[in-house]
Copies of this chain bind each other. A is one copy, B any other.
Amino acid sequence: MLAALNIQNCDFSREVSAETLSRLNSLGTIKRYSTGENIFNQYDDGTSFHILLDGIVSITALRESGQSTIIDTVHKGHLFGLNSAILHRPYLVSAVADTDVVTLAIPFTNAQQMLTEHPELSLPMLRELATQTRILTNQIRQLKLQKGNERVAHYILSLSPSMTGSFVCDLNEPRRVIAQRLGMTPESLSRSIAALKAKGVIFERTSVRVKDAALLRSYCGLEVIQ
């Protein structure tokens, strides 16, 4: 039980010394959320960021009409809510617990003074933000330069370990979630799936089978980069 709460289990903190970690731990508060619960809401004042100790969190944006979209999914060991906390601005997005979740919530004012005391902390934080920036940039590229079918192809390729030949990989998210991530309706995703059969992409219940990754890469019109 305590093991789950130990922030040394995190990607983020792997490069940080044990001493700094325990200090960081003392600056924050352990929080628990159950599936479906909101961790913070769009437009709330952003004072704290979170280190995700356990579970999965969806970062979503909502329209006033109620329509929602998934911006990102955060996995164990990563940070979220960081940009708002650093700039002391309202959150642009909501964070929702996809599973039961444990986080360490740290007010950025506390972390700030730590940065001068423990400079080793700054690099991991920069890396986290840099990674987020890349994920978001990639998504904008896709939304602006690709059609729905191409985004689906791109998404499948991004799941694949290899970039050539054939491969099979698991779809760990339900179709509804994939559609929201890709900025389309579930119905459109279904049709894209049907259309991609012609390109040698076979969807099964919880996995995809791709005959020729190179063919798919050339189809989707945009390099697949991490």
Contact with B along A135-154 (1 / 0, CB 8 A): 01111110111100000000
Q: Within the complex, which residue of B42, B43, B69, B145 is in contact with A67, where a contact is CB–CB below 8 Å?
A: B145
Is A119 engaged at the interface, CB distance under 8 Å to the other chain? yes
Q: Within the complex, which residue of B82, B84, B133 is in contact with A83, where a contact is CB–CB below 8 Å?
A: B133
Query: Which of A1-9, A85-93, A190-198, A203-211 is found at the contact surface with chain B?
Result: A85-93
Majority secondary structure of chain A interface residues (helix, strand, loop or mixed): helix
Residue positions of A touching B, CB distance < 8 A: 42-43, 61-65, 67, 69, 71, 82-84, 86-87, 89-90, 92-93, 112, 115-116, 119-120, 122-123, 125-127, 129-134, 136-141, 143-146, 183, 221-223, 225-226
Select the residue from A62, A63, A93, A140 with max chain B CB neighbours within 10 A: A140
| B143 and A140 contact, CB distance less than 8 A | yes
In whole angstroms, what is the CA distance A43 to B226 when docked? Answer: 11
